[in-house]
């Protein structure tokens, strides 16, 4: 292996780790904002709102995408 | 270089059957999420015997609680609880159905868990990148 290959690979690994940590940080930030929104909801909110009909199609797609990702993540261990 | 970096680098370079750098990067990222999930699964105390629990940040808008166990009949059971983070609140679904908005109490617990998760993965997985 050349020094250049090693340098590039090391950089790639560091980038992946940086990216994951940044994703987690943003995830916590988004969650914090959403929790504030939950706190501001009126207590009598109709639970049927949770069905989110406006973007139900999009949500289903997201679930399918997530299932693929989850299968990819855990499939090897489940096999 | 931090020892974790060395392990990750070795893994990155020797992923079998994955030729392109992009695919190796995706595979390694998935592996990092699995490691995060194992750490996340320990945040809620010990699990009953035979139960495997993972908790992780899938992306910035999605948190996942994943549990697997065998029931009394020996059937393998899986429960994926997914929290979708939206600007106006948090919606939960289990095994891809039954969407429901979560309560203030559950949202607060989820946020506590996410803060603990962030601290743990930063310390145990990503401290070398700081």
Contact B34 A59 (CB under 8 A): no
Please give the biggest Cα pair distance in chain B: 49
Sorting pLDDT into bands at 50, 70 and 90, what band is A55? very low
DSSP track, B45-95? -PPPTT-EEEEEEEETTEEEEEEEEE-TTS-EEEEEEEEEEETTEEEEEET
Q: State how far the Cα of B91 lies from the Cα of A23, in Å rounded to an integer.
A: 20
Report the percent of chain A where pLDDT is more than 90.
Answer: 25
pLDDT category at A56 given cuts 50, 70, 90 is very low
User: What whole-number distance in Å separates Cα of residue A29 and Cα of residue B63?
Assistant: 12
Verify whether the Cβ–Cβ distance A33 to B63 is below 8 Å: no
Q: Which of A48, A79, A35, A54 is nearest to B83 (CA)?
A: A35
Which residues in chain A have Cβ-Cβ distances shorter than 8 Å to B95? Answer: none
Element (H, E) at B13: helix B3-13
Assign A4 a pLDDT band (cuts: 50, 70, 90). confident
Q: Is the pLDDT of residue A44 over 60?
A: no
Please tell me which of the candidates A1, A50, A74 has its beta carbon nearest to residue B100. Answer: A50
Q: A43 phi and psi, to 5 degrees?
A: -65, -20
Q: Which of A16-20, A44-48, B7-11, B25-29 has the highest mean pLDDT?
A: A16-20
pLDDT in tens, chain B (130 residues): 555 567 777 776 766 666 677 888 888 899 999 999 999 999 988 888 889 999 999 999 999 999 999 988 989 999 999 999 988 889 999 888 878 889 888 999 999 999 999 999 999 999 877 6
Q: At what angle do helices A56-78 and B21-41 cross, to 10 degrees?
A: 90
SS3 of A55, please? helix
For the record, the structure tokens of A63 come out as 């679930």
Q: What is the pLDDT of residue B22?
A: 80
Both tokens assigned to A19: 């990216």
- ipTM computed for the complex: 0.86
Set of chain B residues whose Cβ sits within 8 Å of the Cβ of A18 = 126, 129
pTM of the model: 0.75
**With contacts defined as CB-CB under 8 Å, which chain A residues touch B1?**
10
- CA nearest to B98 within chain A: A51
3-state secondary structure of B37: helix
pLDDT score, position A41 = 53
């Amino acid at each position: 292996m050349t020094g250049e290959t090693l340098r590039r690979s090391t950089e790639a690994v560091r980038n992946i780790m940086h990216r994951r940590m940044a994703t987690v940080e943003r995830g916590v930030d988004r969650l914090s904002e959403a929790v504030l929104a939950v706190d501001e909801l009126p207590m009598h909110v109709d639970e049927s709102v949770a069905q989110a009909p406006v973007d139900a199609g999009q949500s289903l797609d997201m679930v399918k995408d997530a299932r693929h990702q989850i299968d990819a993540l855990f499939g090897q261990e489940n096999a | 270089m931090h020892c974790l970096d060395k392990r990750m680098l070795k893994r990155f370079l020797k992923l079998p059957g994955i030729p392109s750098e992009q695919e190796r990067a995706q595979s390694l990222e998935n592996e990092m999420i699995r490691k995060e999930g194992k750490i996340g699964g320990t945040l809620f105390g010990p699990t009953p015997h035979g139960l495997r629990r993972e908790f992780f940040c899938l992306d910035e808008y999605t948190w996942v609680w994943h549990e697997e166990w065998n029931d009394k009949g020996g059937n393998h059971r899986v429960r994926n609880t997914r929290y979708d983070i939206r600007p106006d609140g948090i919606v939960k679904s289990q095994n891809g159905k039954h969407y429901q908005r979560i309560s203030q109490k559950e949202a607060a617990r989820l946020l506590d868990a996410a803060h603990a998760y962030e601290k743990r993965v930063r310390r145990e997985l990503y401290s070398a990148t700081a």
